[in-house]
Structure 1
Amino acid sequence: MWLYLRFTLSYRDVEELLAERGLDVSYETIRRWVDKFGSAYARNLRRLAP
């Protein structure tokens, strides 16, 4: 999920990156993770940015 929030990647791009690492996750699962955890994760990224 951090890949989607940190970089300008689509859900399918993240799906492909995870597949290269051996993780079989659909883009729909990534979308659900972003919906559920995305706002908190983005808030932490903004706080840590210089």
Structure 2
Amino acid sequence: MTNFDDKSPTTTRTEGVTDFSLVLALIAIGMLGFAFAFIALFPTDRM
């Protein structure tokens, strides 16, 4: 039981950090994709 209790916080922290990094990566990729699509749809000459 003691070993299981010791592993639980570490696993939770690791998963939390991984999920947070994954969300940031998805947001960054989404913003880059949106910017690329916006530039592709609207010529830079108008800007």
Q: Structure 1-normalised TM-score?
A: 0.32
Larger RCO of the pair (alpha carbons < 8 Å, separation 6+): 1
- Of structures 1 and 2, the larger Rg is shown by 2
